[in-house]
Chain A
Amino acid sequence: MNWSALGLSLKVTAVATAIIAALGLPLSIWLARSRWRGKTLVEALVLLPLVLPPSVVGYYLLRGLGAGGPLALVSGGSVLFTWQAAALAAAVVGLPLMVLSGRAAIASVDPTLESAARSLGSSEPAVLWRVTLPLARRGIMAGLTLGAARALGEFGATLMVAGNIAGRTQTLSLAIYDAVQNGEYTKANGMVLIMTALALVSLWAVRRLEPPARESAPRQESPP
């Protein structure tokens, strides 16, 4: 068992999940609410990693994070081939799942409830905080869980921007690849089982979070 790879995977996933939450929640709210035409473009940009080959996402990140790239200027130096780059790659591929689910959850909140909150004296931030987000919470959390699971399993883009340096940037999925390349199937088996277990746990969590398909049975009218 490659414990350092597991530890690194968990660290990368934790940081990636934090980034997904920090970017994904405002993006979900904005995409659900905005009527600005340009939002389709922003939406496409966010969702693109979902359909692009991981190597292409990795390439964009490589150019963005590399010397002179726009992201490198922001981060004040190259983070290429560090675990931070792996976390960034994982966040980029996990974000679309969060945004898809979160936006749908926010958009599905009954606008009448938000109107009611306004008529009861709530400002827009208060409506969001006290009504919209609590009601969309399950969908948002389900999206975040899916994003985190996707981040945990990230392989292609990570390989491009963080490399496969054992003990430094080698996450569990990369370590499995290495083990198989070297014919160490016993080692691979353990790691594969761990990944499968984590994936199952996240699927179970998503299932728990998704709102149950509740039948809106006609209510019985009883005299008070």
Chain B
Amino acid sequence: MSSESARLRVDADKQMPGFHLQVCLESGSETLVLFGPSGAGKTTTLNIVAGLTQPDSGEITLDGEVLFRKGYPGAPANVPARKRRIGYVFQSYALFPHMTALGNVAYPLWRRPDRERHAAQLLERVHLGHLAGRYPDELSGGQQQRVALARALALEPRLLLLDEPFAALDAAVREQLQRELRAIQAEMGLAMLYVTHRLEDAFAMGDRLAVIQDGRVAQVGALDDVLRQPANSTVAQIMGVKNLFHARVIAATPDGLRIDWAGIQLDAPPQPAQVGAGVTAYIRPEEVKIIYPDRPLSAAVGLNLVDGTVLESIPGVSFRSLRILIENGFEIEVRFPPYAYVPLRLERGARVRLSLRRDALIVLAGAGQSSADGSVVGLAQTNHMQGG
């Protein structure tokens, strides 16, 4: 990102019990995903931006206004949280339990004479108009999430912070909320800082990704770039993605997605995607099953069958991994407990049939897509057909 288009700039340093937080970030009118393992400092970063935690030193500016400055050239500043106009959706939602949904949304509007009407409109915007009189403990998790969002929007924020907003929700509710949040963001031109540890959520919401590890920003970039080209092995490990590949959508129905990975057709769970679009997909090595040639196939592994040859067998204490060259010339990793598949002699050169379990095939669709040329660039993958 060029410095001119940055709306939010964060450069902060804070000694925390157990670790030292040093973050340096820039964000424009977009969604920047803070991604990393728990305890890495993601939430603390949000709190520092919101003004709820004070850094030991640093400089934070939003739309040119200095929110915090200490130990940097220029006049020291620390704008209190209440004057920052930064919306914050907490991981626990933090709805006021003694107020109704309407009361919660009207909370930041106390100076406005039309606060009730305005709050009601915001609740309508998140499709909760009919539940305005309910108290938080009478609402489901997804409904509480919407109230928290409406309340943050009532502030007319310059920036919206979201801390693991979909962590506690089931898949259907999560997807719908993500869709609506994207629509609201586009409508209001909101800059968002979004914390998650789930790659799928990052892809569904984000434009850019900042990988946070041990209190530091390990890498920032477009989602796809970080995924495909981790700056270092630490980032690769945090991203934790093996068996990553590019494919093309060949069919999208309410029953599921069918994608083409360099000649292999695979079925995946349903999700919104355009036929013909390039997508990034992956399957965790533990989810790839090896098929016994002499046993009937169970329904769970009956789809996505792929033939391959064992390239290498790597023994381990708690699991064993295989590198397998599959029929389209790519390589995938399979991982299983040491006691599994003993009757199959899985040595180098052995022929195997695999199931890339449909339910475990994760297709990352969303803003992060860029190239759709079908080329496969994985973390440790090479195309053996082309490469020799």
Contact = CB atoms under 8 A, between A and B. Distances in A.
B127 A224 contact: yes
Given A135-B97, A223-B142, A120 B108 contact: yes
Given A110-B94, A221-B170, A224-B173, A119 B86 contact: yes
Given A131-B96, A223-B142, A122 B82 contact: yes
A220 B97 CA distance: 18
A220 B155 contact: no
Contacts of B107: 117, 120, 130
B81 A224 contact: no
Interface in A176-224: 219-224
B52 interface: yes
Interface string A113-140: 1011111111100000011001100000
B52 A121 contact: no
B131 to A, nearest CB: 9
A121 B108 contact: yes
B140 interface: yes
Contact of A222 (B86, B92, B140, B152): B140
A120 B155 contact: yes
Nearest to B177: A224
Contacts of A130: 107
Contact of B173 (A112, A120, A135, A221): A221
A119 B87 contact: yes
Contacts of A112: 90, 92, 94
Contacts of B94: 110, 112-113, 115-116
B70 to A, nearest CB: 19
B233 interface: no
Interface magnitude class on chain B: 35 or more
Contacts of A121: 82-83, 85, 108, 155
A135 B151 CA distance: 19
Contacts of B90: 112, 115-116
Contacts of A119: 50-52, 81-82, 84, 86-88, 155
A39 B366 CA distance: 55
Given A118-B82, A221-B142, A224-B173, A135 B98 contact: yes
Interface in A19-51: none
Contacts of A134: 98
B298 interface: no
Contacts of A222: 140, 142-143
Interface string B45-82: 00100111000000000000000000000000000111
A223 B142 CA distance: 8
B128 interface: yes
B243 to A, nearest CB: 30
B237 interface: no
A224 B142 contact: yes
A221 B169 contact: yes
B166 to A, nearest CB: 12
A115 B53 CA distance: 10
A61 B172 CA distance: 68
A120 to B, nearest CB: 4
B138 to A, nearest CB: 10
A85 to B, nearest CB: 40
Nearest to B85: A121
A223 B98 contact: no
Contacts of A118: 51-52, 80-82
Interface in B161-193: 169-170, 172-173, 176
Contacts of A122: 82
B146 interface: yes
A113 B104 CA distance: 11
Question: Which of A130, A135, A221, A223 has the most chain B CB atoms inside 10 A of its CB?
Answer: A221
- Give the interface centre of A119, A131, A222 by most chain B CB atoms within 10 Å: A119
B285 interface: no
A116 B86 CA distance: 11
A135 B83 CA distance: 24
Interface string A78-121: 00000000000000000000000000000000101101111111
Contacts of B141: 219, 221
Contacts of B50: 115, 119
Interface in B97-114: 97-98, 107-108
A223 B172 CA distance: 8
A44 to B, nearest CB: 28
Contacts of A220: 140
A112 B47 CA distance: 11
Nearest to B155: A120
Contact of A221 (B47, B87, B140, B146): B140
Interface string B248-261: 00000000000000
Given A110-B94, A119-B155, A222-B140, 13 more contacts: A110-B92, A112-B90, A112-B92, A115-B47, A117-B96, A117-B107, A119-B50, A120-B107, A121-B155, A135-B97, A135-B98, A220-B140, A224-B142
Interface of A: 110, 112-113, 115-123, 130-131, 134-135, 219-224
14 contacts: A113-B96, A115-B47, A115-B52, A116-B88, A116-B96, A117-B96, A118-B52, A119-B50, A119-B82, A119-B87, A120-B152, A135-B97, A222-B143, A223-B142
Interface of B: 47, 50-52, 80-88, 90, 92, 94, 96-98, 107-108, 127-128, 139-143, 146, 151-152, 154-155, 169-170, 172-173, 176
